[in-house]
Every structure is written in structure tokens, then in C-alpha cells.
Amino acid sequence: MDYRTKEEQVADYLRERIISGVFPRGSRLKQADLAEQLGLSITPVREALKLLAAEGYISGDSYRGARVMPFDPSASAEILTLRLLLESQLVSAAVEKITSTDLEALRGLADEFAAAFSSNDRAIARGVNYRFHRRLYDVADLPQTLHFVQILWARYPFDVINGLTNRGTEAIKEHEAILQALTSGDVSAAIFSMRKHIESGWNRLKEAKTNQ
């Protein structure tokens, strides 16, 4: 059962699509169009857009139309450090609380991610990757820490990183390592695997910039 409010569900829907690139950076989001697409009234969409504006995913206002924030490359190194710190805390807490149902759900998302990359559907893969991490971090039950992580995600170049050559193959293996550590209840291995996963994508991005 989903205990989130409608506006929280809409906000999560929009976060996933911004991170996946379905709504590209710089594109405009109109609340009337979103409400029609989702089959909802204007109110939860308007409130969701306010949440995303506060987190830094969008700029502007819900009346004139919001715009997806452009990527700021100068902030990424600091954001990487903060991600490693906060997401390590979420993983550690999740290992202590994870259930067989949670593991089954994460396994399904990891398989869905691998299938999307095999089909060369990068947007779908990025969306599933978001759900994999969000599902895992929900288990930690540290809502304030997750809130700050979501703010960091708004400023991180997932769309660029996941479009790099061979990044999908690496990410599939890294998800497997994370799942193995979670299944065995090994906190240290789970933190190490998650940090490697985050750092691997960042290193790929730096390599790509160097070779340009």
C-alpha cells in the first residue's frame, strides 16, 4: 500500500522523469498538461511542482510554467562527496531493516534495469535506476537523510553518465554486488559496493570529458 500523498506521488513521478531525461534539462513543465496526463486535478500537481522547486529540480512557478533546471558542472565534485556520505548512511540503515519482500522488489528492479539496457532503452533504464535506489533508501527509514539526497540528485548529471559507452554494463554488475551484500546482511560490503557504484559513474564522466 502506498501511504504517500498524491502530491508526493506526483513529485516522485516527476523526479524519476527528470533524472531519466524524459523531461530534459531546460524543458518546460505545465501543470495543466501534467494533470491531464496523470488524470488528476491541478492541486496535487501544483503542490508537487512546489516541492520540486524547493529541492532544485525545477525553477519558475506552477502558474506560468516551471522549467527543469540545467546541469551545473561546477557543483558536481562537492555533490559527489555529499552523496557518498549520505547514501552510505542510508545503505547502512537499510541493511539492518531489509526484508525478503524488499530484496525481491530490488531484484525485480535490477533485472528490469538490465533488460532496458539490453534493449538500448536508456531513458527507461535511467528511470528504473532511480526506482532501484529510491526503493532501497526507503527501507532505511531515514526521511530527512533521503530528503537531502534527493536534493543532491537534482544537481547530479545522471542523464549524461548513464548515456556513456559501457556504463550500463558496469552498472548492472554493480547492482548485483549491492544485492549480494544486502542479501548476506554485510553492512561493510553493502557500503563499499554502493560507494563503488557512485564513484564508477563519476570516474566514467571524468574520462569522457578528458577524451573530448
- Rounded mean pLDDT of 93-107? 97
Is the pLDDT at 161 greater than 90, yes or no?
A: no
Residue-level pLDDT at 210: 62
- Rounded mean pLDDT of 106-133? 92
- Rounded mean pLDDT of 32-54? 92
Residue-level pLDDT at 156: 81
Is the pLDDT at 72 greater than 70, yes or no?
A: no
Residue-level pLDDT at 175: 97
Q: Which of 32-41, 60-69, 168-177, 190-199 has the lowest mean pLDDT?
A: 60-69
State how far the Cα of 143 lies from the Cα of 194, in Å rounded to an integer. 19
Q: pLDDT-derived band of residue 212, with 50, 70 and 90 as boundaries?
A: low
- Rounded mean pLDDT of 72-89? 86
Domains and CATH numbers, the chain: 6-68 (1.10.10.10), 73-210 (1.20.120.530)
> The pTM is what?
0.82
Amino acid at 173: K
Q: How far apart, in Å, are the Cα atoms of 35 and each of 12, 73, 114, 207?
A: 14, 32, 31, 41
- Rounded mean pLDDT of 2-21? 86
Q: How far apart, in Å, are the Cα atoms of 49 and each of 69, 115, 170, 199, 212?
A: 12, 31, 33, 30, 36
Q: Of residues 138 and 163, which shows the higher confidence score?
A: 138
Q: How far apart, in Å, are the Cα atoms of 149 and each of 54, 56, 58, 93?
A: 13, 12, 16, 15
Residue-level pLDDT at 70: 80
What is the maximum span of the chain, computed from C-alpha positions, in angstroms?
50
- Tens digit of each residue's pLDDT (9 = 90 or more) over 179-210: 999 999 999 999 999 999 999 888 877 776 66
